[in-house]
Structure 1
Amino acid sequence: MIETGSDYKSGFIAIIGRPNVGKSTFLNRVVGQKIAIMSDKPQTTRNKVQGVLTRNDAQMVFLDTPGIHKPKHRLGDFMMRVAQNALREVDIVLFVVNATEGRGKGDDFIIEKLKSTKTPVFLIINKIDEVTPDEMLPIIDSYKEAYPFKEVFPISALYGNNVDQLLQKLTEYLPVGPQFYPADQVTDHPERFIIAEFIREKALQLTREEVPHSLTTVIEQIKQEKEDGPIHVMAAIVVERDSQKGIIIGKRGSMLKEIGTRAREDIEQLLGSKVYLELWVKVQKDWRNRQTHLRDYGYREDEY
């Protein structure tokens, strides 16, 4: 633990925004390592991913929430409740938008949700590396007309532009408080959760069309026979239809092998050990609309 004085600050910060604006990229940048999966597919984040940044003067606990959207199934309903519940339990809200896109209906939908909160809200305009400075002013003005943001920060989560300045300003807004987590802890999620997410990320990156939204990953077992031996991870990729199972497996198992190869690299980096990853695919029809399956696969509302 860091020695904390009477002026040490700590608090919880929600990261909200439409799908695919770079919330997970920002979280990984802030904590200094990969804990949230990234994909160009919308609605990649399904649970609330909690990242911890500990500094000499403050500890910030970031909640990366699912992208706010109009749900189409029970899983979507769950994701929206996770995102909206986060607004009620934090000290600061970061509303992340994409600098390459104008303010749209999805952004206005979120702004309407924000109007009922008394929590300070920062506007974070991400991907400034993809626009010119002249293009930024109209974007800022458009959002400021819609909501009285406490602070506005144009950043690049990918390259780190302006992120340090944002962290310093966040520290100013945080209340005086204790250090909630050990200084070397970067997330409160168990390793099983992160391993499952790494596998899902690779499947998202490698598949197309309807498959990404229809799959989830379940860790069946993690074991290590010898103290210095490899860690054996057994996991199932769950899809909704037989045709999707065929896509995930690929010709002669080529797709499943590639998913495993890519995921194993991230898992080995996370665990600091050699990993033997065993993957298989199973079909669970319409799992996103079945409450029992959602709970079995880790989407538990009582945890949020």
Structure 2
Amino acid sequence: MKYDQQTPRPERRTVLRLALGLSAATAVHLIAADPAATPVRPGGAPPAGAAGSPAQARARPSAYRLQPMTAHTPPRFRRPAPPVRTRPLEELPGLGRSLVLSFDDGPDPRYTPGILATLREHGVRAMFFVCGEMAADSPDLLREMAADGHVVANHSWSHPLIPSLSRAGIRDELGRTSDTIARTVGEAPLWYRAPYGAWNRNSFEIGAALGMEPLAWTVDTLDWKEPGTGTIVRRVLDGAAPGVVVLSHDAGGDRSQSVAALRRYLPGLLADGYRVTVPFRT
């Protein structure tokens, strides 16, 4: 599900500060994604829209999802403060034995409540990269996320392939979503993730103009393929390491396996000494 491409020209990046409770802030390592307009999936994985992909699932929207709003003025854009990233963050090392859990595509009233309940039971926070059309349909779930201390982040409005859009189209996708989040929880998101991990230069620049940092992932559970609860659990536990960002989903299809897997792997991570935290930008 990842399209990140490598580039041979590493650059210095701005430093993020992250905190867990009263822990000290630490620098963040940056991993590559090419700003090229055409994404390429590593390892020969199927492109967006191929059979079984999340794009195909989104071609059959469920009845509970709102249609995109027809009258909307995007929030005011400001000039990005240099330097604008050309690569997303992909892992967050330097935090000791900590990792980040992230969930894409929601909120979904069928699956998100179960994920929130498990996180609440264990007293940990996660990141939710929400789609604007889903967020507009379930504002109470967004407010519940924020009230529990989770990070509510931007995953575009309708989950398109970002490099296929014009700059105006990207502004609309990211701007409408940021505006919906701000109206619902009282503050605009500071993080965003491109659908399918398909980034380009325009998305980095427009995301920066909205005050957001791009975050990819380190461990992909591939839960959107519905591989079985045990397989998802194994992928998380095998991939766990200090600083990793785990990608899962709470919408976009049948996510009952994802909900059940979290109930199994989260206690295992905590028993193994991991702190499950979220990043903060300063």
TM-score range, shorter chain: 0.3 to 0.5
TM-score if structure 2 supplies the norm length?
0.34
Which structure shows the higher helix fraction?
1
- Normalising by structure 1, we get a TM-score of 0.33
**Structure having the larger proportion of residues in strand:** 1
Per chain length, whose mean CA-contact separation is higher, i.e. which structure has more relative contact order (CA < 8 Å, sep 6+)? 2
Larger Rg: 1
